[in-house]
Amino acid sequence: MSEALRTAKRWIVKIGSSLLTNDGAGLDAAAIKNWVAQIAVLRAQSREVVLVSSGAVAEGMQRLGWKKRPAAINELQAAAAVGQMGLVQVYETCFREHDLRTAQILLTHDDLADRTRYLNARSTLRTLLTLGAVPIINENDTVVTDEIKFGDNDTLGALVANLLEADCLVILTDQQGLFTADPRRDPGATLVNEAQAGDARLEAMAGGIGSAFSKGGMLSKILAAKRAARSGAHTVIASGREPNVLTRLSQGEAIGTLLRAETVPLAARKQWLADHLQVRGQLHLDAGAAKALREGGRSLLPIGVTRVAGDFERGEVVVCVDAAGREMARGLVNYSAEETRKIARKASSEIEKTLGYVDEPELIHRDNLVLL
């Protein structure tokens, strides 16, 4: 762990609700002041820091006098809108004490799913870092809907790590890290000090929801690390209760669980494709097509598709599933779902005869396809 974080220059730091609030009763200003002081040390070390912060809904609930997290989306949005004011105010006050500028960024999945908005968000964030500001990012809960929500800030942190090609993602939580089993139920569970991000065994170890005030659990953190690794970012899952955890990590101290990124980072466009959380359909492939994609780097042809699921239009993102039901790739499809069903299992030379026209001989061109 020492070298991975000691040399990391661009950090994405995600802090969970349980660390920022008094058990849901509003923001813990003293805790936030402590986090800001640690980030100020990192900035003094010439490191770039982007903060992904939870806490808006919990703060809004406290300001509105609500004891129980509402289930209705409009009430959650209202709480987030009220709470975001307090969250930003506390951060701005604390960072100003260290002569650091801050910037508020609210994102939805739509902002990253659209290629132009994705590039605009990246450009803005890079500019802010160049100017020496500390971007504070949260999901735009006031407008988000179930169809476009990230689901948790662990995922948002990973997407930001991909967006900025960060060196590391630090996920601070109320747990020490990843254990071999749930330590609350299994006294024999041991801490996983280091592993490779994306190792399927890690997902089997993780599970459970953190608290009534946070949406993520350990599984979301494992999946976030897997996603962050696509752009070469290492992930650390550590306890935010550890004194000076950020500064100690920056010095190379082994704290929590390090999930290493050992794969070759994806090129920018394919990284964008891989980052899509919402897909519009599934293409089930036969063994030959799956092998051609996985081993040959080929385009997907209609003849290799055995089944089409979902309703999608040309240019939307679909998932490619192998014969065992495993998601193996994502890509921008050249034909709608209705058209794809008609040309599935047919040679490319038959597309025009079947549809009356031909746009592309490939269902998904290899340039618009990313293996997962």
> Mean pLDDT throughout 85-97?
95
Tokens of 246: 């950020």
Give me the chain's average pLDDT, please. 88
Cα–Cα distances in angstroms (integers) from residue 214 to residues 23, 173, 206, 329, in the given order: 10, 10, 16, 31
CATH number of 2-270: 3.40.1160.10
Give the model confidence (pLDDT) of 265-280 as tens digits: 877 778 888 876 678 8
Residue ranges covered by each domain of the chain: 2-270, 279-371
Residue 285 pLDDT: 97
Residue 210 pLDDT: 40
> Mean pLDDT throughout 124-148?
82
Confidence of residue 212 (pLDDT cuts 50, 70, 90): very low
> Mean pLDDT throughout 300-307?
96
Residue 67 pLDDT: 86
Pair type for strands 317-321 and 327-332? antiparallel
Give the model confidence (pLDDT) of 312-357 as tens digits: 999 889 999 999 999 999 999 999 999 999 999 999 999 999 999 9
Which overall architecture, per CATH, does domain 279-371 show? Roll (2.30)
Give the model confidence (pLDDT) of 127-138 as tens digits: 999 999 999 998
Residue 96 pLDDT: 97
Are the C-beta atoms of residues 255 and 277 closer than 8 Å to each other? Answer: no
CA dist., res. 222 & res. 241, Å (int) = 20
Say whether pLDDT at 104 is over 80. Answer: yes
